[in-house]
Amino acid sequence: MAGFPTSFGKEDLLKCARGELFGEGNAQLPAPPMLMMDRITEISGDGGEHGKGHVIAEFDITPDLWFFDCHFPGNPIMPGCLGLDGLWQLTGFNLGWRGWQGRGYALGVGEVKLTGMVRPDRKMLTYRVNFTKAVQTRRLTMGVADGIVEADGEVIYQVKDMKVALSES
């Protein structure tokens, strides 16, 4: 959609973090270390489980990631909220990828289940976001999606009804 590719490497994601991908004032990913993915392998506006769009992305896990030293000393675990933030980041990215205007803001999530942990011995997280609704009107630009995070193929986080909006103000 909007002439963008359907996969993105790390340098593309860093361009998005600098505001260079979708244009000034539009959807933007956070810069490292808060950027919670290394690549987007698939993105669509009409695919996924509900035919309303999807995103699949990956994040390489290494023992030297910043959060392992402080959460928790002697018992390193990636904070679950960072996995949720990664899903929100991808939801907003999809809206910008569609060519929709405005900066992204997480509005909430209906349900979160954390059933596993990310420790330094994990190798890769896979994010899967499936849109249930994507709305663009004169007054509202918003995506609603369900998501999962897998660690080395094991589902460890599940969310329902994530909401991200774009606002031009």
CB of 6 within 8 A of CB of 44? yes
**Tokens standing for residue 106:** 């997480």
Distances (CA, A) of 11 to 1, 37, 68, 126, 138: 20, 11, 24, 19, 33
Torsions phi, psi of 133, nearest 5? -155, 140
Please list the active-site residues: 71
CB of 25 within 8 A of CB of 10? no
CB of 58 within 8 A of CB of 127? yes
CA 87 from centre of chain? 3
